[in-house]
């Protein structure tokens, strides 16, 4: 049995409503902008997990798994996350965004995440989702992508031929878990930077500045929850604190939880009696900001 099938079966056992068929829906009706081929990794797509009937509270979240912009950690930063959301009445979509390891570099990933948010918002009524309660949740490099959505969004193009492109790409809230935030050499995750910018643009000062998202925060950046650990050796905790301080400076509703212990990539905390408490702090935050029913 190959590893992919084992992961899907494990996800099904853990998340009772995961479809074995994995019905990924492409973000664009034809080839995506900048596509290099037609393989799965060339086709950015969403995998939908609607909230159970009778439990949906109108909130929706686009989930961005991590993987250094070189892979996608689909289990503990994907399937387990949508299960957590569904149990709380939140509809969820896992985003399969394009990767540097497959030859895709900025602005491809930004285009993928903004299109995903537009798509969920455009189809909000059909999915029983409030178009003003759509968030983005990212882990590690997926956290950088989620913070990109929170700082590089636009209002949509009213003159666009594609109706999805007319819709705002601004998330209504962001959840960032041990996120890569900056491209600054001093405290970035170098693998994520290399995959995102491309090896030939790794030292491009303009791109480093543009995609250091702690520098892109404005008063329009959405409310944000951040989780990190001091012990993280892959993505320095300074990424989290830099973004938090920028949010605070601009008067954005935000909350930061830094745990002393915990390696990088802990997901929801697993069986660790301490780390596994962080999602409860996030649930409280979602409630006080009216994204989750009390």
Q: To the nearest 5 percent, what fractions of the chain are helix, strand and coil?
A: 35, 15, 50
Q: What's the whole-number mean pLDDT along residues 182-190?
A: 97
Asked if 198 and 248 touch (Cβ cutoff 8 Å), the reply is no
pLDDT digits (tens, 9 = 90+) for 235-278: 999 999 999 999 999 999 999 999 999 999 999 999 999 999 99
β-sheet bridge partners, residue 94: 47, 63
- Which pTM value belongs to this model? 0.92
Asked if 114 and 149 touch (Cβ cutoff 8 Å), the reply is yes
Decide: residue 39, CB within 10 A, 0-12 exposed, 13-18 middle, 19+ buried.
exposed
Of 201, 207, 211, 189, the closest CA to residue 69 belongs to: 189
5 vs 191, more confident:
191
pLDDT digits (tens, 9 = 90+) for 123-137: 999 999 999 999 999
Domains of the chain: total: 1
Please give the pLDDT value at position 294. Answer: 52
Please give the pLDDT value at position 11. Answer: 47
Look at residue 51 and tell me whether its pLDDT is greater than 60.
yes
β-sheet bridge partners, residue 63: 94, 137
Note whether residue 294 is domain-resident.
no
Please give the pLDDT value at position 5. Answer: 43
pLDDT digits (tens, 9 = 90+) for 91-134: 999 999 999 999 999 999 999 999 999 999 999 999 999 999 99
Mean pLDDT of the chain: 93
Asked if 141 and 189 touch (Cβ cutoff 8 Å), the reply is yes
Q: Tell me how far apart the alpha carbons of residues 142 and 178 are, in angstroms, rounded to a whole number.
A: 10
**Residue count (the chain):** 294
pLDDT digits (tens, 9 = 90+) for 14-24: 344 443 448 99
Q: Tell me how far apart the alpha carbons of residues 193 and 202 are, in angstroms, rounded to a whole number.
A: 7
CATH number, position 69: 3.40.50.1820
Q: Which residue range forms the structural domain that includes residue 20?
A: 3-288
């Amino acid at each position: 049995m190959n590893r992919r099938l084992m992961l899907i079966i494990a996800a099904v056992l853990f998340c009772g409503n995961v479809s074995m068929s994995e019905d990924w829906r492409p973000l664009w009706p034809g080839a995506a902008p900048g596509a290099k081929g037609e393989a799965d990794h060339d086709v950015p797509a969403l995998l939908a997990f609607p909230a159970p009937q009778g439990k949906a509270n109108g909130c929706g979240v686009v989930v961005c798994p991590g993987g250094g912009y070189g892979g996608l950690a689909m289990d503990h930063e994907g399937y387990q996350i949508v299960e957590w959301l569904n149990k709380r009445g939140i509809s969820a979509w896992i985003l399969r965004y394009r990767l540097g390891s497959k030859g895709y570099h900025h602005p491809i990933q930004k285009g993928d995440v903004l299109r995903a948010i537009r798509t969920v918002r455009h189809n909000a009524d059909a999915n029983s989702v409030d178009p003003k309660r759509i968030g983005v949740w990212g882990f590690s490099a997926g956290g950088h992508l989620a913070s990109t959505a929170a700082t590089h969004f636009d209002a949509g193009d009213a003159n666009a031929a594609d109706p999805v492109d007319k819709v705002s790409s601004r998330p209504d809230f962001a959840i960032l878990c041990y996120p890569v935030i900056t491209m600054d050499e001093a405290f970035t995750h170098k693998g994520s930077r290399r995959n995102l910018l491309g090896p030939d643009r790794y030292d491009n000062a303009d791109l480093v500045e543009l995609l250091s998202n702690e520098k892109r925060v404005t008063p329009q950046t959405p409310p944000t929850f951040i989780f990190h650990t001091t012990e993280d050796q892959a993505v320095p905790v300074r990424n989290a604190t830099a973004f938090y301080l920028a949010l605070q400076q601009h008067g954005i509703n935000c909350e930061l939880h830094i745990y002393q212990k915990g390696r990088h990539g802990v997901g929801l905390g697993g069986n660790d009696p301490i780390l596994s408490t962080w999602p409860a702090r996030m649930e409280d935050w979602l409630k006080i900001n009216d994204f989750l029913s009390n």
